[in-house]
Amino acid sequence: MFAVTATQIDPDDPLGGLTLGDVPEPEAPEGWTTVTVKAAALNHHDLWSLKGVGLPADRLPMVLGCDAAGVDEDGNEVIVHSVIGDPDRGGGDETLDPKRTLLSELHPGTLAEKVAVPRRNLVPKPAELSFEEAACLPTAWLTAYRMLFVKAGLQPGSSVLVQGAGGGVATAAIALASAAGFRVHATSRSEAKRKRALELGADTALESGARLPERVDAVIETVGEATWSHSLKSLRPGGRIVVSGATSGQVPPAELNRVFFLQLQVVGSTMGTRGELERLARFLVKTGVRPPIDRTLPLDRAREGFAAMADGDLFGKIVFTP
């Protein structure tokens, strides 16, 4: 089958390790099944994998990709939940399983014509969502859903700052937060991305680091060093930063005096559970919110999509169709 594979690790030239071509079809061990992929979405995780983050060289070659929607062996339309973990080991939450992993880390991923996954990792795809829309959900949109509705502790009418409008998680957070009735403030260095954030439902869209019209209840933080100080200063006393990424660097000044004096909370968040993915899909059906798709490419043009993500030349998701 045709697939997009990492064949070497190079932190300085990640696309140099990208190989497109035929690989053996996946085998499904006991308790697993295969899905014929109809659409698969690209994530920063795939780019980081090519840099060696979470994917050591001794696991190569590895089919990349976390996100997919397709058809299972029984002909059902499904969304693939990419967290491979045991809820029992995680106290009922597979994302807290210390042995949990994502597709494309230990097991071949979704940028292929077929993918093998545990049977419990299949979520019914609502008929109202296209395969391309559904494929956007399992990583970026699920991460944003968990950050907003599980980790941030927000209620309708709350205020939230989303840093770095344009990224996959940030884009999802703006759309979901607006649909939930939050006051949404977004930032970006790009005027075009600020305009898109307003179209998604943000109440204000400001340049990175600009003063907000109010101090917010929570910050959705995926950027890291470049925005960390601004995130802290934008919180009301007792507010909460939810962190799921650090694309600009992972060691910002902690500013502990501000944290303890204002009783701020810093909460980590990674992916989401299968149940949360199912609720996310239902939420989209109910609200009419849909993932903005920057572009859809055939899988044999995956290099173009990776290059666009590496350059930051996108707003919303890049989707591949095998």
- Kindly state whether residues 195 and 105 are assigned to the same domain: no
Q: Is residue 246 part of a domain?
A: yes
Range of the domain at 246: 141-268
Predicted confidence (pLDDT) per residue in 246-299, tens digit: 888 899 999 999 999 999 999 999 999 999 999 999 999 999 999 999 999 999
Query: What does the pLDDT read at residue 156?
Result: 85
Same domain, 118 and 154: no
**Residue 22 reports pLDDT greater than 90:** yes
How would residue 14 be classed by pLDDT, with cut points 50, 70 and 90?
A: very high
Same structural domain for residues 88 and 201? no
Q: Which residues contact 178 (CB under 8 A, 6 or more apart)?
A: 184, 200, 201, 202
Nearest to 230 by CA among 211, 245, 206: 211
Q: Which of 282, 293, 288 is nearest to 136 (CA)?
A: 293
Q: Could you tell me the pLDDT band of residue 117, with boundaries at 50, 70 and 90?
A: very high
CATH code of the domain in which 175 resides = 3.40.50.720
Query: Looking at residue 74, which CATH number applies to its domain?
Result: 3.90.180.10
**What six digits make up the tokens of 170?**
């940030």
Q: Are residues 170 and 228 in the same domain?
A: yes
Tokens of residue 38, six digits:
């109809």
- Do both 161 and 258 map to the same domain? yes
181-211 tens-digit pLDDT: 999 999 999 999 999 999 999 999 999 999 9
Among residues 136, 135, 160, 164, which one has the least CA distance to residue 148?
160
**Is this prediction's pTM over 0.85?**
yes
Q: Do 91 and 198 sit in the same domain of this protein? A: no
In a domain, 309, yes or no: yes
- 283: closest CA among 142, 72, 98? 142
Helix 168-179 and helix 274-287: axis angle, to 10°?
Answer: 60
Give CA–CA dist 115/34, Å, rounded: 6
pLDDT band at 312 (very low <50, low <70, confident <90, very high): confident
Structure tokens at 130: 């296209």
CB contact at 8 A, 73 and 33: yes
The CA R_g of the chain, rounded to the nearest whole Å, is 19
Number of domains in the chain: 2
